[in-house]
Structure 1
Amino acid sequence: MTAGDAKVTVHVELAGGTELLLAPPHQKKHTFQLPRTNQHGRQTDVADLIQHIRKNLVVEREELFVDGNTVRPGILVLINNGDWELEGEGDYVLQDGDEIVFISTLHGG
């Protein structure tokens, strides 16, 4: 494998309703292998993962998941069970085996 072929494997879980934006059967857990570097030559980060999910998993109402290049307000993001704000949010560089969880905190009433 050459450096250009290098991948990073991450485990993603969508919960709290975010999984309902995906095609049935609304699978909650996914494993992705992403390039270690993005199209801009930088290491792949959580912002790249968010765009990958938007483009490849979200089938309806993507505005309920993304807001520009990040998640919309009301979606809690955990990186390895810690708040992503402590890890630099979308700038966190993905590492092999990372667990990223997206949880909607918005619920109808």
Structure 2
Amino acid sequence: MTQPLIKVNLFFSGGLEILFDNIKQKTVEISSSINPPNQTKMEDLIKWIRENLIKTKPELFMTGNTIRPGILILINDVDWEVEGELEYTIKDGDNIHFLSTLHGG
């Protein structure tokens, strides 16, 4: 039996796009059963991104099982801290922005 897929729109900016081969936006489909029962959490999505999308220097995106400090995440234009951070359940059609707030100078 085929697992249902969730379509998620990912956006990378503030320099993070370099880690993703200069891709600023990508729509991906992930299994809705990464974390049964059919509840893919933000933590699962972040791991999936590390394993499937990052082309270089994953340590600049993640530390342990979470995002590095200095990366702002917006889920449907709302700070992920308001949405529950790693525990947020991904929904079909979510827009998730990863924005680096750290810049050299």
TM-score calculated relative to the size of structure 1:
0.89
Counterpart CA distance in 1 for 2:87 and 2:26 is 21
Out of 77, 80, 83, the position equivalent to 1:81 is: 77
Counterpart CA distance in 1 for 2:84 and 2:7 is 19
For residue 88 of structure 1, report the CA deviation from its aligned partner.
0.3
Describe the superposition over 1:60-94 as per-residue Cα deviations: whole angstroms up to 9, x where unpaired: 11110001111100000000000000000011001
TM-score calculated relative to the size of structure 2:
0.92
Secondary structure class of the residue paired with 1:54 = helix
Secondary structure class of the residue paired with 1:5 = coil
Describe the superposition over 1:12-40 as per-residue Cα deviations: whole angstroms up to 9, x where unpaired: 000001111122xx1110111111121x5
The residue that corresponds to 1:65 in the other structure is 61
- Following TM superposition, the consecutive aligned residue runs of length 4 or more in structure 1 with deviations greater than 3 angstroms are none
Counterpart CA distance in 2 for 1:70 and 1:33 is 21
Seq. identity, %: 46
Q: Report matched runs for 1:86-101 at 5 Å.
A: 86-101=82-97
Counterpart CA distance in 1 for 2:30 and 2:53 is 14
Give the aligned CA root-mean-square deviation in angstroms.
1.2
Letter in structure 2 aligned against 1:34: I
Unaligned runs of 5+ in 1: none
Letter in structure 1 aligned against 2:8: V
Would you say 1:11 and 2:9 are equivalent positions?
A: yes
